Structure 1
Amino acid sequence: MTRAMEDKDDCTEVIYDRPKFPKRAVITAGMPYGNKELHLGHIGGVFIHADTYARFLRDRIGKENVIFVSGTDCYGSPIVESHGQLVDSESFKGGIEDFVEHYHHLQKKVLEEYHMDIDLFAASSLGAAVKIHKEVSNEFIEKLYSNGHMTKITTSQFYDPERNVFLNGRQVIGKCPIEGCSSERGYADECSLGHQYMPVDLIDPKSTLSGKKPEMKDVTNWYFKLDEYYSLLNEWVAYIEEMPNCRTSLTRTIKEFLKLPVIYVKKDQSDVLNSMKDILPKHRLIDENNKASLVLEFENIKEREEACLLLAEKSIRFRTGKTLVPFRLTGNIEWGVPAPSIDGMDHLTFWVWPESLWAPISFIKTYLNQLNRGKDAWKDWWCSKESEVYQFIGEDNIYFYGLAEMGMFMAMQGKDPIAYPPEGQLQLPNLIANSHVLFLDKKASSSGNVKPPTAKELLDYYTVDQLRAHFLGLSLGVRSASFQPKPLNPKASEKDKDPVLKEGNLLTNVLNRVARSCFYTAQQYYHGKIPIGNISEDVMRESKDTILQFEKLMYRYEFHTLMDLMDVYIRNMNKRWVKNMKLAEENQDSKLHMQVVIDGFHQLRTAIVLMHSIAPEGTEMVRTYLNLNEDFWDWHKIFQTVYDFMEKPEEHPLKFLEPKVDFFKKHPSQLL
């Protein structure tokens, strides 16, 4: 996906290999649950990256061609559980809808404080999105049914006889049965790391209501036949693996589930297992000398589940492996989107995960409806080969977005879907999954032992631009990284540097200093105007190379390398200014002095255009003082000089910069 660009700004024609961006783009950020404020994982792990990419694409392909949506995930058992606990403790008064509305407004307010340029931050149970989300949900399940991609499955659901109620997903806690899982806790049919399993497989379950072991009672729900999508999903994974902007961590995690169903049994139980070989469904026994367990491999999930029941009857300890299982679509929790009556299945609601996967489509429809764009306008954004969808998520949710979502979106084509949806059908999104943001070297979770600071609390210590630059530099696309703010670290001493300010200092110290020098020098020596002249060839070359590298890194979502690139460019820019201005002043060389200013403003132009998506507040302020319009950010003009944006360069006045004014400001707490 590259194209050639002819550079005709100098005498020689150079052909650059540049990445190709879509005509239109949808950006989504993983939806926060409606039972909590935004914490550092939401902001630092997802929203800042999504907003940076959305801002870049607006500059790159035009703001009218980019829509950025997200919203509060309002339904599901975690919200019911949180609401019930707070009402019982008299910490909250009001119904569950009041509860999610309260947190939705808190989330939206914090996103505004972080200057997130979101076109619509909606809520699945509130406002204009409610009706549209219900319609989209109904359309999904009805199409899946009519296309033959759904099945009824009767399973045993946990039931608390002491409280005389069925238990929802988060009202049962045990241990995840998936081999090798490091999750801190397992719930009814998924663990805290997103592994899916049948409820009967949960190890040592307990009711959170009574603390007792629950019983199992049969319930029937609709499931999407995800287990039948091995071939299509393998074909899709093979395709995206060849894309230069596909992260290996994403496909590696997805492929862990694209395996045949297996059961692990400890070798010390091999005698009992051997006595059952004639009654177990057809399987292949794998015995690896260096492993502690025997592996029973089955052709399909049904045969594995039959084997699980037989092993459980014989009291044989076992664990199941990752594989594709039918994906639950409905449930009986009252607080959910009502599911339509299909084939005699009444009074069901959608399970929260499937409806949250298509919620961004609901939000796109809601946003375009508010603009009076027409009922089918959303298809230009989600069903066109000229458009791309970019979904920014946390790595814990790869199973849902990378397998369930892709399978369901394929299934919407018809009875015989293909891996590459044709024009007019739902296109498969690009997934950008970030690793965990650790807090002081430990995994932070609002429901775990290590409580991270809220996103709002971080603004008591840092500016938005400082936080954006730092979180982008954390290498979350490669590995989990620790967030170690000095003001919140009890082990930090007074003389220790604040790790969070490393990238921010590039803005507040280096770039700010050069920007101020450019303006103050123009005011003092050149009547508040940029002197006219040719930019030095080496400055043009370095700027051009940096632009092209920046573009490639942004295309590949390599945000941390992007920050390294800009660190080099901005520091070189500063060194050049200091060195050459010193020479000019020592030698009273007016020609060199003018050249330093001419080159300085071109490098400043390049730096702030590239940093515009990363540090929007400070860069917008620089543009304002350059006294230029917003087409200054247009990447179709990226190789042009600052003069090209002035009607009469020799007469163009810069806005007067008062003494001691900063473009990239430090937080007030850092000035004490």
Structure 2
Amino acid sequence: MYTPKRPRPEFPKRAVITAGMPYGNKPLHFGHIGGVFIHADTFTRFLKDRIGADNVIFVSGTDCYGSPILASYKKHIEESGEDISMEDYVYRFYNLQTNVLKSYDVQPSLYGASAFGESAKVHNKVSETLFNALYEQETLNVMSSPQFFDPIENVYLNGRQVVGKCPVDGCKSDKAYADECALGHQYMQDELIDPVSILSGEKPVLKDVNNWYFILDAYREHLNDMVTKMRKERHVRPNVINTIEEFLKTPVIYVKRKDHEELISKEIDLGANEIQDDGKKPSVTYVFEALENRDLARVKLDTEGIRYRTGKTLVPFRLSGNIDWGVPVPSREGLDDLTFWVWPESLWAPISFTITYLNSLNQPSSDWSKWWLDKDSKVYQFIGEDNIYFYGVAEMGMLMAYLGIRPDDGRSIEDVNFPQLVANCHLLFLDSKASSSSEVKPPMADELLNHYTKDQLRMHFLSLGLSKKSVSFSPKPFDPNCPEDAPDVVLKDGNLLTNVYNRLLRSCFYTAQKYFDSVVPKVEVREEIKDILHKAIYDYEHNMARQEFHLVIYTIDDVIRSVSKYWSKYMKQADDHDSDELRAQVVADAIYAAKSILTLLHPITPSTSEFVREYLNLNETLWSWEHIFDDVTAHMDTPETHKLKFIEPKFDFYKKDESQF
């Protein structure tokens, strides 16, 4: 009997899974599906099997607001002349997104939208409630900050209408916008280097405007405590912890050595707490105790005309903006007609969607806290690594403020049930970061289904190991440089099902049909096959608990091939001796293995798994992990009369796409 080397992992009693929010001006591309949604859906389906479907909620939705969507809408109207409202424009993409998710078997409990439908009504109310809570906790400030203004076009510019160079030292982003770059670095607008207005092509000017800011930089100590807690609990991916820590560094300014020497000669004191100079680097580092001290130093450097770079650090988190298309901010302290900046309201949108879903079940809105905050619940947020700052720093800071934890009150955060971030690394396309402007256009999600089945793609994307590193997606039909006789790497893991597992299933059915009238032989399954399956089940469960999906696929690959070898070895012996007794043993063993493997595949290939279950003529207890080690008869409604469904010659359970023949 197989003895596990470690105890089975524990899971929460209830779980919420979120999967980011695609922008409402585009259909889903391969990165949305392969980088986030399939992973989130697979984990959701596993938890439903593991802790019960009623104990799991999976929410996502269309991110309807934000300056990129507004700019895209205006461009569409100008180029097409179509008479369409902003709401209808976004709703068009919402429908495209929901249809593509269905085609990949991605099935959220609710796929909402922040700007229309019942979820929008709830979202507006949640936004108001959270803003008022933060305001009453005195964690919001009105700050007069510079905003870019295009004097040629005579308009204020939103975040994506200004491009320049990221001021964060060492940043290699190819795009930096008004106050954030494409890699997620945050800075104040007046720090952007060489800004250009995309409307006029000229350099914009800065004008002061008032907005609401959350005092995120005051939560540095609490956020450091949160990181310590994450390390102790050992369940958060290293890339999440490392990225969060980068933003928790003390404020610094990097000045070139010759400029540093000029400051010394002019006896200009920048007010730094420490000056770091090892004599080897081309720049000198000025370290400051607080952000305001760093910003005073920036003023002095600007006055002297000295260029500099800043380091990653916490800055106040902007909550509001002045574009019309957005969620209204409550009027306070004479600030009227503001809307929420899209990033903060998209961070709490999953709460809005959770409430909307609970309301659809006639459950009170207040129950959201039971799912999000209680100790026996857990929230798993599937995101791309570029968004760790927003979810891992800004969201966590606002959560602590909402719970009444102030930066100066000394309260422990040990009892805070922080969401767990499942951040995937970049899913590249043909070894490069996907870009619609590149020579070879990256495929949209629906295009891939013209060449592959959803099962093949789900298997492939899960196998890539995005928890560890960025990986290239290289589908042969979309790679002009791939030799015609080269194998398609996307099919490797799918072939495990369409070839090896398919062959095992067919062999079981055909042998049972030929020798046992489609009846599963009622003999005790050998310990040898149970050991193979039980080890796989334990490994699979641990890998799922850590969201290491590539290891889940590896485990499935190993067990399918092991059982296939078992079949070949012992069925050959049965045929050599023409032994029905041995045939019965091998068929019973293999069907026990096939049903156990099918339970492991259910979260990954849900529709086809249901199809196979129906042919095995087993009931839905097959999916429950309460019965994961049970014999096949435990899943039969009437064991005395049970038979497998009849299959024709060359029958396929897992099918290939027609283009692959």
TM-score range, shorter chain: over 0.9
CA contact (8 A) 1:189 1:197 kept: yes
4+ aligned runs moved over 3 Å, structure 1: 12-16, 275-279, 415-422, 445-451
Question: Is the 1:409–1:427 Cα contact (8 Å) retained in structure 2?
Answer: no
Alignment correspondent of 2:311? 321
* Distance in 2 (alpha carbons) for counterparts of 1:445 and 1:456: 17
Aligned alpha-carbon RMSD (Å): 1.6
Within a 5 Å distance, the mapping from 1:213-612 to structure 2 comes to 213-275=203-265, 278-414=268-404, 416=406, 418=411, 420=413, 422=415, 427-446=417-436, 451-612=441-602
Give the equivalent residue in structure 2 for 1:184: 174
How many angstroms apart in 1 are the aligned matches of 2:549 and 2:81?
41
Query: Kindly tell me: are residues 277 and 505 of structure 1, through their superposed partners in 2, closer, same or farther at Cα, counting changes over 3 Å?
Result: farther
CA distance in structure 1 between the partners assigned to 2:439 and 2:150 by the alignment:
27
CA contact (8 A) 2:49 2:625 kept: yes
Change (3 A) 1:30 1:447: farther
- How far does residue 454 in structure 1 lie from its aligned partner after superposition? 0.4
**Contact 2:619/2:637 (8 A) holds in 1:** no
Change (3 A) 1:276 1:436: farther
Give the counterpart letter for 2:117 in structure 1: G
Does structure 1 conserve the Cα–Cα contact (< 8 Å) formed by 2:618 and 2:637? no
1:144 counterpart = 2:137: no
2:627 is matched with 637
Residue 626 of structure 1 contacts residue 654 of structure 1 at CA under 8 Å; is this kept in 2?
yes
Change in Cα spacing, 1:446 to 1:360, as seen in structure 2 (3 Å) is farther
Quote the Cα distance in structure 1 between the aligned partners of 2:55 and 2:20: 21
Tell me the alpha carbon deviations over residues 263-286 of structure 1, each in whole angstroms, 9 at most, x when there is no partner: 111112222222455442343110
Distance in 1, matches of 2:546 and 2:562, equals: 25
Query: CA contact under 8 A between 1:229 and 1:407: conserved in structure 2?
Result: yes
Note the 1:201-220 alignment, pairs <5 A.
201-220=191-210
Tell me which amino acid in the other structure corresponds to 1:420.
I
Deviation at 1:377, TM superposition (A): 2.1
How far is 1:343 from its partner? 1.7
3-state DSSP class of the match of 1:525? helix
Does the C-alpha gap of structure 1 residues 421 and 123 become closer, same or farther in structure 2, counting only changes over 3 Å?
A: farther
Q: Residue type matched to 1:633 in 2? A: W
Change (3 A) 1:91 1:652: farther
Distance between the aligned counterparts of 2:533 and 2:604, measured in 1?
18
Q: TM-score, normalising length from structure 2?
A: 0.97
Give the corresponding residue for 1:98: 88
Helix, strand or coil: the match of 2:233?
A: coil
Moved more, 200-209 or 407-416: 407-416
Establish whether residue 38 from structure 1 lines up as the match of residue 10 from structure 2: no
CA contact (8 A) 1:256 1:323 kept: yes
Measured in 2, the distance between the counterparts of 1:670 and 1:365 equals 44
Instruction: Kindly state the Cα deviation for residue 15 of structure 1 after the two structures are TM-superposed.
Output: 8.6
Contact 2:532 2:562 in 1 (8 A): no
TM-score, scaled relative to structure 1: 0.95
Provide closer, same or farther for how the CA distance between residues 202 and 232 of structure 1 changes in structure 2, counting only shifts above 3 A. same
Matched, 1:652 2:645: no
Extract unaligned runs of 5+ from structure 1: 1-9
- State how far apart, in whole Å, the 2-side matches of 1:222 and 1:238 are: 30
Q: What is the CA deviation profile of residues 324-371 of structure 1, one whole-angstrom value per residue up to 9, with x for unaligned ones?
A: 110000011111101001122111100000000000000000111111
Could you tell me how far 1:658 is from its partner in structure 2? 2.6
The match for 2:183 among 193, 209, 227 is 193
Match of 1:89, SS state, is helix
The one-letter code of the counterpart of 1:235 is D
In structure 2, the CA distance between the partners of 1:135 and 1:665, relative to structure 1 (3 Å rule), is same
User: How far does residue 427 in structure 1 lie from its aligned partner after superposition?
Assistant: 3.7
Inter-partner Cα distance in structure 2 for 1:119 and 1:332: 33
Q: Which residue of 1 aligns with 2:40?
A: 50
Kindly indicate whether the alpha-carbon contact (under 8 Å) linking 1:236 and 1:419 is maintained by their aligned counterparts in 2.
Answer: no
Task: Please say if residues 245 and 557 of structure 1, whose CA atoms lie closer than 8 Å, have aligned partners that are also in contact.
Answer: no
String of CA shifts for 1:95-143, please: whole Å, max 9, x gaps. 2212111111111110011111211100000101111101100111111
**1:174 maps to what in 2?**
164
Separation in structure 1 between the aligned mates of residue 38 and residue 4 of structure 2, nearest angstrom? 35
Deviation at residue 599 of structure 1 after TM alignment: 0.8
Q: How many positions carry a matched residue from both structures?
A: 658
Q: What is the SS of the residue equivalent to 2:536?
A: helix
Describe the shift of the 1:301–1:103 C-alpha distance in structure 2 as closer, same or farther (beyond 3 A).
same
Whether the 8 Å contact between 1:154 and 1:221 is mirrored in structure 2 is: yes
Structure 2: tracts of 5 or more residues without a match: none
Query: In the alignment, is the contact (CA less than 8 A) between 1:470 and 1:503 conserved in 2?
Result: yes
Whole-Å separation in 1 of the counterparts to 2:197 and 2:209: 18
Q: Percent identity?
A: 52
Question: 1:421-440: per-residue Cα shift (whole Å, max 9, x none)?
Answer: 75xxx842110000111111
Moved more, 628-637 or 44-53: 628-637
